[in-house]
Amino acid sequence: MRFRHSVAPRGFPLLTLYLTPGASSMAPHIALHEIGVDFVARYLSLVKRENRSPEYLAINAAGTVPVLLIEGRALTEVAAILYFLAKRFPDAHLLPAGDIEADAHAIEWMSFIAAAIHPARHRGLEHAHKIWSVAEQRLAHREWALGQYSIVDIHLFRLFWRFHADLDLQRNEFPSLFDHYEHMKNRPAVQRVLTAEAAIGYEPVPGRLPPPM
């Protein structure tokens, strides 16, 4: 495993993110850069099965990435990590403040992303296109999914970034999603993460196109 060590500023918990470049862990990686809090990044190679090492399985028995350690306590699943970061660091404005309905819509979106969008490609192109069409309709030409930038946009971006080429999604069919994608790529935090993860290197996945640069 490769490490980048940092020291958390006074008054903040020490956070450690276990991630694999280009994987779902990109979403919390972006969120941490949006927040600006210092953290430790630990990069795992799935090809080398570093996620199956005894050290890592002691942290997360499922052997999946990402994991966020919060003062040594493990939190798994992208949506949960994003929600924690948004609530723990409200000054980053990654969720609308004091709006329970917006919180509910964030959970609605991220549940849809995890349960429907993420596995859609395994059921074939036709099914995947139908699911992404639902996301297109929900986005409905808004710049951001909740009306303001949020963790939902980060979660949605990572999957669109990774799979739109594999699935041959076209701008004329998904204009809102492509506009959202371009808005996201213009954010400094996103640019930093894309540059950092590309520099480490994306591992080849059989049957998939390489991630976009």
Domain boundaries, the chain: 2-91+190-200, 95-186
91 by Cβ neighbours in 10 Å (0-12 / 13-18 / 19+) ranks as exposed
Instruction: Transcribe 25-49 into DSSP letters.
Output: THHHHHHHHHHT---EEEE--TTTT
| Structure tokens, 27 | 């979403």
Helix 151-163 × helix 26-35 angle, to 10°? 140
* Residue 203 pLDDT: 84
* Residue 14 pLDDT: 87
Residues 145 and 80: their CA atoms lie apart, in Å, by 18
* Residue 205 pLDDT: 64
The CATH number that domain 95-186 falls under is 1.20.1050.10
138's enclosing H/E stretch is helix 125-139
| Structure tokens, 125 | 């192109």
- pLDDT tens series, the chain, 213 aa: 443 433 344 444 589 999 999 999 999 999 999 999 999 999 999 999 999 999 999 999 999 999 999 998 999 999 999 999 999 999 999 999 999 999 999 999 999 999 999 999 989 999 999 999 999 999 998 999 999 999 999 999 999 999 999 999 999 999 999 999 999 999 999 999 999 999 999 887 655 666 776
* Residue 4 pLDDT: 41
Fold of the CATH domain 2-91+190-200: Glutaredoxin (3.40.30)
| Structure tokens, 196 | 């950092």
